[in-house]
Structure 1
Amino acid sequence: MAFQGFGRDALPFFRALAFHQTKAWFEENRATYETAVRGPMGDLVEDVAVLLAEAKIPIRGDRKTSLFRIHRDARFSKIKDPYKTNGGLAMTRTGSKTDPGVLYFHLSPEECFFAAGFYRLDPAPLGRLRDAAARAPEAYKAMIGKLAKAGLALSDEDALKRTPRGFETVDDPAILAAVRQRHFIVVRPVSEPEISEPALAPSLGAFARDALPLLAWGWDALTDSR
């Protein structure tokens, strides 16, 4: 089914779920979750997958592999509530959510947004991205320039305040910011009215195109054997 937008029950469902964190309440309201959140999210990812394939953007996904579960894994979290109060999808080159270089959509009452890039990497791949920026600064800055033309900039979320070991000689401000990054991501806010429109699918596709310079740069950096 083609994506028609998220209906008026999607965000209120999450607001209510934040208050009613019980299995009994969730099961009583499961039909709302399936029709207002999970169903449209699946339609969205499959419509976007078609748009990306047509545009030859190497990002894949489907309703079986790209959607995040509503159940929270509380084993290693301080938050012990059994249910998440947001929805999301992640698309990658292979379709696996764990593949580095992700296109993401976040749906919650607090904020909705598109994001793309490399988030919460292990130390080794994060080091490769930092090394790539320091080793080839002009290529890195060219990528940043392409993002800027599309109205995007790398987030400095969780950025280090000090230069990490091995990069002490870096003095270019742009590269210094790069080697201090903990994530290489770009974000575009989505308004509440936008989520209710079928145009959300082409908007996510357009965001993927705008963020592609970052993804392509990162993919190359992670496969560089130097």
Structure 2
Amino acid sequence: MTVAFSGFGQKALPFLKALNFHQRREWFVENRDLFESELRDPFGDLVETLSERFAVVGLGLRGDRKKSLFRINRDVRFAKDKRPYNRHLSAILSPDGTKMEQGVLFVYIGLERCFAAVAWWQPGPALLLAMRQAIGTRPGEFRALIKALKQNRLELDPEGCMKRTPRGFEHVTDIDLVAAIRNRHFVVRHEIDPAGIHSAALADELVDFTMRAKPLLDWGRAIEGKVPVNQAPDR
């Protein structure tokens, strides 16, 4: 049975601050109970609460405390920075409940910032190409998406945008469409006030954000359902 989300513990961010300072396995093991009670377990409650509420409104996003949360441990095998622990904890709710799908809600609770994002992040070559083609050939639909997001107080994040137009789209000249086609991701973000993570109202805030971002989910899903195979864009 799902435990209703009641907020992260008051020591959630102080724990991350202390972990950032210590960065030793011995310290983490000694304080694991604090990590679980203040941060990990409430995050699991949040994911499962959101999953239930998304099912009611038909958002097509779900998750659970076992599959959705990312590990606090860093993968340092190929990193110059060998610190073993992240300064944040994060989770994904997706169409199938795994971390492998596109069109997701990503929630990040970190030492520097807390935020949520609805994202088509690093879509595969065929899907990215199809999205770019949809922008170029059906600009009215894309502009309707941008208008809907703007009405919902959201806009696409330009992070990771290419500096030049990918091959095959040189014929597109409208400035707004060129900028969109250069995107490697299609993402809208919502900043979370760190002071608000301790309240059950955070779940309401994230449901509201995801509902406002639904036009982006719908746009991407309509394209994803017709993705051609064996096509790779210039990334």
TM-score by length of 2: 0.92
Partner in structure 1 of residue 37 of structure 2: 35
The Cα offsets for residues 187-213 of structure 1, whole Å up to 9 and x where unpaired, read as 010101211110001111111111111
Give the ranges of 4+ consecutive aligned residues of structure 1 lying more than 4 Å apart after TM superposition. Answer: none
* Counterpart AA for 1:9: K
Number of equivalences: 226
Partner in structure 2 of residue 72 of structure 1: 74
Once the two structures are TM-superposed, the CA of residue 82 in structure 1 deviates from its matched residue by 1.3
- Superposed, 1:127-206 pairs within 5 Å as 127-206=129-208
Partner in structure 1 of residue 224 of structure 2: 222
Partner in structure 2 of residue 82 of structure 1: 84
Partner in structure 2 of residue 62 of structure 1: 64
Identity of aligned residues (%): 42
Indicate which of 22, 36, 39 corresponds to 2:24: 22
Quick check: 69-78 or 53-62, which moved more? 69-78
Tell me how far apart the structure 1 counterparts of residues 60 and 119 of structure 2 sit (CA, whole Å).
Answer: 14
Partner in structure 2 of residue 51 of structure 1: 53
Partner in structure 1 of residue 8 of structure 2: 6
Q: Secondary structure at the match of 2:117?
A: strand
- Superposed, 1:77-116 pairs within 5 Å as 77-116=79-118
Once the two structures are TM-superposed, the CA of residue 23 in structure 1 deviates from its matched residue by 0.8
- 8 Å CA contact retained: 1:65, 1:97: yes
Q: Secondary structure at the match of 2:140?
A: helix
Alignment RMSD, CA only?
1.2
Tell me how far apart the structure 2 counterparts of residues 216 and 80 of structure 1 sit (CA, whole Å).
Answer: 40
Once the two structures are TM-superposed, the CA of residue 117 in structure 1 deviates from its matched residue by 1.4
Unmatched tracts of structure 1, length 5 or more: none
Once the two structures are TM-superposed, the CA of residue 225 in structure 1 deviates from its matched residue by 4.1
Once the two structures are TM-superposed, the CA of residue 120 in structure 1 deviates from its matched residue by 2.3
- 8 Å CA contact retained: 1:51, 1:202: no
Q: Secondary structure at the match of 1:189?
A: strand
Q: Secondary structure at the match of 1:87?
A: strand
Unmatched tracts of structure 2, length 5 or more: 229-235
The Cα offsets for residues 68-116 of structure 1, whole Å up to 9 and x where unpaired, read as 1111112233332211110111001111111011101110120001101
Once the two structures are TM-superposed, the CA of residue 41 in structure 1 deviates from its matched residue by 0.1
* Counterpart AA for 1:132: A
* Counterpart AA for 2:82: K
* Counterpart AA for 2:119: G
The Cα offsets for residues 48-71 of structure 1, whole Å up to 9 and x where unpaired, read as 111111111111111111111111
- 8 Å CA contact retained: 2:114, 2:192: yes
